[in-house]
Structure 1
Amino acid sequence: MSERTGLHPSNILSEDIDRASDRDARSMNIAVGRAVADVVKTTLGPRGRDKMLADQGGGLAVTNDGETVLSMMDIEHPAGKIVADVASTQKAEVSDGTTTAVILTGSLLKESERLLDDGIHSTTIERGYHQAIDRVRELLPEIAIDITADSGILQEVAATAMTGKNVDVARDHLSSLVVEAVRTVDQRDGDDIVVESVGSGTPKESELLEGVLIEEERIHDHMPYNIDDPTVLVYGSDLTFDDAQSDPAIDITDPGQFETIIEEEERQFRDMADEVSEADVVLVDGNVDDMVMHFLAEEGVLAFDQVDKEDQRAIVRATDAWVVSDLDELSDSDLGHARSVERRIFGDDEYVAFASDTDPGEVTLLLRSGTEHVGKEMEIAVTDAVDAVEIALEEGAVLPGGGASEIELARQLRSDADAIDGREQLAVEAFANALETIPRTLARTAGRDPIDILTELRTHHAEGAIATGLDATTGDVAEMTARGVVEPLRVKNAAIDSAVDATVTIVRIDDMIAASNFNEPNTDILS
């Protein structure tokens, strides 16, 4: 009841407004958050299970990528959306580690609920978690292993990022391509590496193209398919004349006049083709007149029309061309250059490969697959691997995987908790418990007993073997760097940060009120 008004807050709300407060709100939010996390829990690791998602329209998807699962789920509860956002945030920031971040969130919520039930205030839990994460940031670099650009461990980083994503049959081959792609561009910017999946062939036939691939067909049968060392023009308009350019008021009284008009029109189209044929390959944003097509074919020019903006931008990056919109202003400096242009056929689809000769240039990881489903899963896996390798190179450090990092962090946090005064000690210990959910889950998906695995891992780490984890592929407890199971330091940091932020957000909520539309007037206070 309000001390000033004597009114209970519920008296100011419509009777139709739903509201949950205090213990009810807290319990509901934690239960929903844990339920969302549990959905993706079994997808973790090389033995993780797939999820099938079906929509009302008959659409179907099968995947074990945590972020993909949660983004496709129809989650309505606000707390559930907060947990799902953990995956999308992790994906946007570092691409990999989405499932780990969500599982940690669910485990931290479970530990928080236990603490709350024991009478620990949410503010105390928050302070304890932040003390724990501060210590984690200090410990992770101590656990990390330094690497260089020439280190063979980069391929292991790529392979680990692709683990459990349905590409195991070609994982070594794809990992090699990913590392070669990153080294080729010699930059740490994923925009320079395009991942393109075509529905033909097998994953082991995937290749690295030093350039770009676009799905286009030549516009005239007499044009060449392949050209070596070509100049490239990207034209941002039509190669034709509008009907409005012809004068409908011309009164033809002599057959010779008609021939003159036809000859003049042909001359204009030939002039247009002559201007464009300064280049060997022409990509046109709009339409190309049939007569211009004919003249270009005579000149041996390879041309494509209706090229979309995204493909134009890719060609510009790969060839250093400029988009030209006025032929009268065309100059040699506007033309790009490629090492070669080659027709490629994949299944029933025709593509054109532009091999770049710029340095570092743009490269394309061309993925081959027999089905659309496999192709999509490969794209996700390879994109994650590219980002992981780039992040590892940028930081120059990686962590042992297989739950080794989590076990070591948990061990040291428990040791540090003894020196913490107050109830925050309990929150730090709870944080350590939550971290061990990762090796526990890996053990389950690998078909091993989680208690046995945790006991064995704790023993090894207590003896100083801090890189010991679970090789979930074989089910063995082993030294992870020797098994090639490693992951970027930043990915782990981001996953833990996201999990703590989401957990604290949910735990701090003590009231849930169905609100009016935030887009309506008088709601600026929420923005």
Structure 2
Amino acid sequence: LAELVVDAVLSVAEDVDGKLKVDLDNIKLEKKKGESIDETQLIHGVVLDKEIVHPGMPKRIEDAKIAILDCPLEIEKTEITAKINITSPEQMKKFLDEEASMLKAMVDKIVESGANFVVVQKGIDDIAQHYLAKKGIAAVRRAKRSDIELLAKASGARIVTNVEDLTPADLGYAKLVEERRVGKDKMVFIEGCKNPKAVTILIRGGSDRFVDEAERSLHDAKCVVRNVIQDPWLVAGGGAPEIEISMRLKEYARGFSGREQLAIMKFAEALEEIPLTLAENSGLDPVDIIVELRAAHTKGEKNTGINVFTGKVTDMLKEGIVEPAIVKKQAIKSATEAAIALLKIDDIIAAAAPKKEKEEKRGPESEGLGMAE
């Protein structure tokens, strides 16, 4: 999945004042159980986990003109509770005809705008579906807010809150809109959008748990790639930077006396917890690993770290094990700020025990006293 994530992040990267910026919200992760992880794919567009609402609507639209509505295509209930007494079939027919006429007026407004694909955040009445299908317009209902916002950005459409306000200027564009079967379900693929800075990674997997884990991994991966693109500096992994900084701080501490030296030495020791923990989690002897790392760094081998796959201490750059420098800097900065915040605490106010706990503690003693009396 590594190449797929890199392609996705590079696709949405934008040049802002000579620097690359990445908005991770433009990369949608869509999960669908079924098949294997190898079937995970990158779509240069937006995928909606919905299906075309009416069987008579087209399932494939080329040169799609997209209308996005944040309002229902159905007759809304009035705020005032009212009852209508119908005394004859003619009155009932007039009532239904008026309802159909109102829905047809909504559809006519969509037709006038030139849209041939409609995405609605709310519901679409069956009668409105029928009229849309007759006009050859495909529609999707109850789309998620995040999906319509991403689609609006990708296609160049404006989200319209009242169908009466819909105009040709509000429409977005995509080269292709197609309903496809993915596993047991159907999904709508919108590709070739006006603004290609929006992509979807369709995650596949054999079980819900596997798909969820893949989603977490892909989210972490796209964050890492984003960090590297925005701050293109890498350092050796495997605890190499922490050991190197720790040893240099210990040398630096020799130039101080008293408490300052102790503080610097403790800071240096704290940094060694990273390779120590890495060794423990890998099933290695942390003491032996730290001794080996110190010996290597004393010789000037500053890129030497722990390769958890082989269990050996080697040159991390040669092994291709690297980390974004910005992550390392932020980790040290955040840990330091947290320690400073704790050291600034002068007093601690102990909270009183909850009332129930006090009663439970006093219960047996109270009973004993009562018996003695």
TM-score tier (shorter): 0.7 to 0.9
Q: CA deviation at 1:244?
A: 5.8
Q: More strand per residue: 1 or 2?
A: 2
Find 2:58's aligned residue among 205, 219, 224: 224
Q: Indicate the residue corresponding to 1:315 in structure 2.
A: 151
Instruction: Give yes or no for the alignment of 1:417 onto 2:253.
Output: yes
The corresponding residue for 2:107 is 273
Map 1:126-137; keep pairs closer than 5 Å: none
Change (3 A) 1:265 1:360: closer
- 1:202 aligned residue: 36
Which protein shows a greater Rg? 2
Considering only aligned residues, what root-mean-square deviation do their CA atoms show, in Å? 2.7
Distance in structure 1 (CA, Å) of the matches to 2:215 and 2:289: 33
- Other-structure match for 1:302: 138
- Correspondent of 2:222 among 354, 378, 386: 386
Question: Unaligned 5+ residue runs, structure 1?
Answer: 1-173, 517-527
Q: Secondary structure at the match of 1:513?
A: coil
Q: Does 1:436 align with 2:309?
A: no
Q: Is the 8 A contact 2:157 2:172 kept in 1?
A: yes
* Structure 1 residue identity aligned to 2:57: M
Distance 2:302 2:312 in 1: 16
> CA deviation digits over 1:387-441, x for unaligned, max 9?
1111111112011101111111111111111112332111211111111121122
Asked if residue 239 in structure 1 is aligned to residue 73 in structure 2, the reply is yes
Q: Aligned ranges for residues 88-237 of structure 1 at < 5 Å?
A: 174-187=1-14, 188-237=22-71
Give the residue type in structure 2 aligned to 1:512. Answer: I
Deviations 1:479-519 (A, max 9, x none): 11222211111111111122222233334445432358xxx
Compute the displacement of 1:297 (Å). Answer: 1.1
* Aligned partners of 2:253 and 2:264 also within 8 Å: yes
Question: Whole-Å Cα distance in 1 between the matches of residues 339 and 183 of structure 2?
Answer: 48
Q: Residues 472 and 244 from structure 1, CA distance in 2 versus in 1: closer, same or farther, beyond 3 angstroms?
A: closer
Task: Decide whether the 8 Å contact of 1:214 with 1:353 is kept in 2.
Answer: yes
Contact 1:413 1:432 (8 Å CA) reproduced: yes
User: Could you say if the C-alpha distance between residues 189 and 265 of structure 1 is closer, same or farther in structure 2, counting changes exceeding 3 Å?
Assistant: closer
Instruction: State the Cα distance separating 1:266 from its structure 2 match.
Output: 4.5
Distance 2:278 2:76 in 1: 65
Contact 2:52 2:188 (8 Å CA) reproduced: no
Aligned partner of 2:187 among 327, 351, 357: 351
Secondary structure at the counterpart of residue 376 of structure 1: helix
**Which letter maps to 1:451?**
V
Count of aligned residue pairs for this structure pair = 342
Q: Which runs of 5+ in 2 are unaligned?
A: 15-21, 353-373
**1:237 offset after TM fit, Å?**
1.4
User: Quick check: 1:503 aligned with 2:330?
Assistant: no
TM-score by length of 2: 0.83
Using the size of structure 1 for normalisation, the TM-score is 0.60
Q: Give the C-alpha shift of residue 336 in structure 1.
A: 0.8
Distance 1:378 1:251 in 2: 61
Correspondent of 2:240 among 396, 404, 413: 404
Post-superposition CA distance 1:57-97 (Å, at most 9, x none): xxxxxxxxxxxxxxxxxxxxxxxxxxxxxxxxxxxxxxxxx
Could you tell me how far apart the structure 2 residues matched to 1:263 and 1:212 are?
38
Does 2:297 match 1:461?
A: yes
Change (3 A) 1:437 1:350: same
Q: Which runs of 4+ in 1 moved over 4 A?
A: 242-253, 257-268
Contact 1:318/1:356 (CA < 8 Å) preserved in 2? no
Quote the Cα distance in structure 1 between the aligned partners of 2:345 and 2:296. 40
Identity, in percent, stands at 36
